[in-house]
Structure 1
Amino acid sequence: MPALAGKTYLNYGGQGPLPDPSLDAMVASWRTIQELGPFSTAVWPFIDRELSRLRGLLASRCGVRPSRVAFTENVTSGCVLPLWGLPWEPGDTILISDAEHPGVVAACHELASREGLHITSLPVTRWRGGLDEQADTDQQVLGALEEALTANTRLVVLSHLLWNTGQVMPIAAVAERLAEHPRQPWLLVDAAQSMGSLPVAAAASQSDIYAFTGHKWCCGPEGLGAVVLSERLLSQARPTLIGWRSLRDEQAANEGFHEDGRRFEVATSCTPLFSGLRTSLELLDSQGACDERSRRIQQLSGQLWQALARTDGLQPLLSGPPPAGLVSFRVEGREPPAVARRLGEQGIWLRHLDHPSCLRACTHITTTQEDLDRLLSALTAML
């Protein structure tokens, strides 16, 4: 990976580096399109095949049929496009966790202002249990959900892997609880940090909207993501941003929309991005099954957490090793933005967050012991 050369890269939660074979696949895809002739009769079978191969690969990972997968540009568009097409009623309530990304939160607030909806909060960041305390975290989240649900709750918004604290949310259990609610609220899951770092089939298959991107833990190109949609959402939600790919017959505007996930796709996409993401996913698969890769990520994040926890002046946010690859921490007496800048000057790349104020390092299967040692050496030098 060119992005890893001469760097200590620990920001997979922001963007994963693109492997050389994926970049080569994108260039080859562009070349094929030009050789066949853009928008020619000969090029469409190639484009259809590239989209179909990736749709099938993502569907397999998510434990669903390909018909439930819609391609998007990123996580936020995957959340918002179906969200705005749901049949809302004035007075409906959207329950949003206090750990969601501002892009999704802002979209929900704008929707609420237009449709006469109410917004309430689901507190989840107050708990900071690690991997060994996952069962306790699950029970605490489900308890908070029970207290927050009302007769008017129509949608619950909850990330699978919290982008700030690094905790895993019990999505499948939440979905089961919502199915028992009189109104069976929809469940929208931001999967930006889970896809590519965790097994996702149980959560994705039981969510109504499970949106993710290819450019983070999947190490694909930016500008391409997808969303898994439930069968009931596909039957209830109307298309929002509409284009020729939404249509059952692209030559006829009055023939209606696709009945599957394609109703939320819009128009022309960059086919080489599909080739690049598929190649990145296949490369990940070549390094072991999803469970195996997840355990490797946990092992590395656990090593980093242990080293931080035993060093005076370095304070991990979680009380134990993380359940995934996000390791959030603070440096005593130092502002996170200043620490991130200082580390960047040394070729060590992570990011700082504002809520809560902290630094976030990410371990992936490509992370080495040398990467962790270099980060710890640089941090201890600041104390």
Structure 2
Amino acid sequence: MNLNESWLDEFPQDTGLCYLNHAAVAPWPRRAAEAVSAFAHENLQQGARDYPRWSRTERHLREQLQTLLNSPSSNDIALVKNTSEALSFVAQGIAWDVGDEVLISDQEFPSNRIPWEALLELGVTLRSVSLGSQPEQALINAMTERTRLLSISSVQYGTGLRMNLQLLGAACRERNILFCVDAIQTLGAQPLDVQHIQCDFAMADGHKWLLGPEGLGVFYCHARVREQLKLTQHGWHMVEAMGDYDRSDWRPAASARRFEPGSPNTLAQQALSASLSLLLDVGLETVASELDKRICLLATLLSALPGVTILSDLSPERRSGIITFSVSGVDLKPLHRKLMDAGVICALRGGGIRWSPHFYSSEGNLKLAVSRLDTLIAEARDNNASR
């Protein structure tokens, strides 16, 4: 496994900790913690004396996110609180007609379900499509003349199923259907090209694969649809003439900043920009390649354990940074709790235990996690046998 020592230096985690929960909330790299510390010290000593420099960090962050998404312009990037807020901007911003239809999958996290369910009172129909063995074809087959929008997670949070977004984007363009991508389980783990997949909207939080803090995310909104979204929040930061506080004839910014009503989260911007600098220094192709090696290693190690069944589709075109497994004859809830107590940080998702390493996770650390799992499974079976 090609592990760069400088990557490990960025993540000086507690000895013996096996952090396999990047699909939930990720640890920060050293540079993000240092950026926050420096920012706090600056505030302590100087307050907002250098606020213009903070604004330059905000602009730089948009440019970093533009690079990660391959957005046509940084003007397409809004800095939002989280994925749910961005999805709500879309759901509440479209001028729906009675009978309009939204398609989602049957595996979506509530963030990509509840905003659409809230439209039912407007006469909008929500259809949850079973993905089955041919996920994209199932969604395409479900499209009708009433389908107004398809909203899909780029990677399904439970089992890590990776979608063919290019195929779905092309189908939406052919049928004049809006295409919305919840990219929270892809951005920072694998390359995502919004131009290549032809999406109208994409959004993600910073606290998973982007290695940043909670409370700050990205909303990509293509220029072709930006003014189609009715604004649901207003304030000083979303106007075209931002900074001209005495002006009464305001209008929304032409850029995606129109979705940012008030004061920015300058503290989180410092952290997220630092974290993104690491990902961009390493390169997303390298990040994806190294992460894939770790998923393949875990698949090999887990498959060797008696009774372990991998629930994730591990074919090359479907693999993501998530591997979910079950254990026959073992109650997963207490097993998950004991894994957490043993320092294997993971989640209970998708009908199994979900592990999600990142590009920097060491081979030794992954083997240690599997060894601890093996021991706990044996203990659970011994306890079952003695009852």
TM-score, with structure 1 as normaliser? 0.89
Question: 5+ residue gaps in structure 1?
Answer: 128-139
- How far apart are 1:253 and its partner, in Å? 5.4
Deviations 1:33-77 (A, max 9, x none): 455543xxx534112201000000100111111000000111111
- Say whether the 8 Å CA contact 1:51–1:271 is kept in structure 2: yes
Q: How many residues align?
A: 361
Q: Give the match for residue 382 of structure 2.
A: none
Alignment partners' CA distance in 1, 2:39 and 2:140: 50
Alignment partners' CA distance in 2, 1:335 and 1:245: 51
Matched, 1:327 2:319: no
Q: Report matched runs for 1:88-107 at 5 Å.
A: 88-107=96-115
Selected match of 2:67 from 60, 68, 72: 60
Comparing 365-374 with 2-11, greater Cα deviation is found at 2-11
Q: Give the match for residue 224 of structure 2.
A: 232
Selected match of 2:161 from 167, 178, 185: 167
- Say whether the 8 Å CA contact 1:247–1:253 is kept in structure 2: no
CA 70–253 in structure 1, closer or farther in 2 if over 3 Å, else same: farther
Alignment partners' CA distance in 2, 1:256 and 1:218: 33
Q: Give the match for residue 94 of structure 2.
A: 86
Q: Give the match for residue 367 of structure 1.
A: 361
RMSD (CA atoms): 1.9
Alignment partners' CA distance in 1, 2:172 and 2:286: 31
- How far apart are 1:12 and its partner, in Å? 0.4
Q: Give the match for residue 378 of structure 1.
A: 372
Q: Give the match for residue 77 of structure 1.
A: 85
Matched, 1:12 2:19: no
Selected match of 2:332 from 331, 336, 353: 336
Alignment partners' CA distance in 2, 1:83 and 1:262: 18
Q: Report matched runs for 1:253-264 at 5 Å.
A: 254-264=249-259
Selected match of 2:129 from 122, 126, 129: 122
Q: Give the match for residue 295 of structure 1.
A: 289
Alignment partners' CA distance in 2, 1:2 and 1:107: 38
The one-letter code of the counterpart of 2:346 is L
Alignment partners' CA distance in 2, 1:203 and 1:361: 30
Alignment partners' CA distance in 2, 1:336 and 1:146: 35
Matched, 1:212 2:204: yes
Selected match of 1:50 from 49, 52, 57: 57
Matched, 1:144 2:138: yes
Q: Report matched runs for 1:344-355 at 5 Å.
A: 344-353=340-349
Q: Give the match for residue 308 of structure 1.
A: 302
Q: Give the match for residue 32 of structure 2.
A: 22
- How far apart are 1:6 and its partner, in Å? 3.6
Q: Give the match for residue 179 of structure 1.
A: 173
Question: 5+ residue gaps in structure 2?
Answer: 1-10, 379-387
The one-letter code of the counterpart of 2:191 is P
CA 83–197 in structure 1, closer or farther in 2 if over 3 Å, else same: same
Deviations 1:315-357 (A, max 9, x none): 101353562210011011223221110101111110101xx31
Q: Give the match for residue 273 of structure 1.
A: 268
Deviations 1:301-320 (A, max 9, x none): 01111222232211101353
Alignment partners' CA distance in 1, 2:66 and 2:351: 36
The one-letter code of the counterpart of 2:269 is F
- How far apart are 1:254 and its partner, in Å? 4.0
Moved over 6 A (4+): none
Q: Give the match for residue 381 of structure 2.
A: none
